[in-house]
Structure 1
Amino acid sequence: MMNQLHQQSLYQKGDWVKGKSVHDELIHGYVESVNNYLGTIKIFVLECDNPETVGKTIETFQNRIAQLEEPDFEKDESYLLNLIEVSLITKDKEWFMELSDQLNQLRNESEEVIPC
């Protein structure tokens, strides 16, 4: 019985997920932490049908969540801009710098491709 409580989670910090909160809100965001003992997961919410939940960390049950493929940051400027905003909200300077570099590279590449 004890082994069942401590099963390994399918989720890891940083995974992109979607699903429902304990209040049945549709959510989309990334994993901040996993509690295998309780079977819960903390998610930083980027999109939600309840606007008050966006930008907050919520905890829900792992069985209410599905993992998403990690987006391709380097090809989508608007997505990078959204992530930069999240990095500012969370005051994650290292992530902000990394995302800013990716955005600058993307913009430089798109300037080189413009036909004359």
Structure 2
Amino acid sequence: MSFAISDWVQGRTKDGELIQGFITSLNERQNIASVYVVQSDHDAAVGTTVSVLSGWLKPQPAARVLDYAEPILDFIELALATRDAEWFAELTERLHEVMEKRERGNASEPVLHNRNRLGQIN
């Protein structure tokens, strides 16, 4: 299966960690993708980029990721770091929609760990 940069994927690392994120670079010769991790069962991996064999990944629709507050917060940090005001505005609007759903009780968001900008659990 071939992937492109910015594709949303989920899979396992060589250490068996479950990851979800998006592809930041590809090495087609070695069949390796670099994935920016937005969710993982290994908390230290969140917010980092890991190299994974493409065969260990499967596609994941981006819309599903943007249904949860935590990944949106990660993207807001990225938008701030890249000074992308338009993307920041889009993400902030989406975050407000997700939070409104949560307050009305229409969201079934999983319990996730809070992290600060350094990726440490508070």
Deviations 1:12-66 (A, max 9, x none): 1111100011211111111111110110000011111111111100011000100
CA contact (8 A) 2:76 2:92 kept: no
2:22 to 30, 38, 41: 30
Mark the runs of 5 or more structure 2 residues left unpaired by the alignment: 102-122
- Stretches (4+) displaced over 6 A: none
2:75 to 65, 71, 86: 86
* Alpha-carbon separation, structure 2, partners of 1:93 and 1:60: 28
Q: Decide which structure has the larger Cα Rg and report it.
A: 1
Shift of 1:73: 7.2
* Alpha-carbon separation, structure 1, partners of 2:56 and 2:14: 8
RMSD (CA atoms): 2.6
Structure 1-normalised TM-score? 0.67
Structure 2-normalised TM-score? 0.64
Query: Structure 1's 87 and 24: CA in aligned 2 closer, same or farther, altered over 3 A?
Result: same
Mark the runs of 5 or more structure 1 residues left unpaired by the alignment: 1-8, 111-116
Matched residue pairs, number? 97
Deviations 1:58-98 (A, max 9, x none): 01100010011221577x3xx25632333315713323233
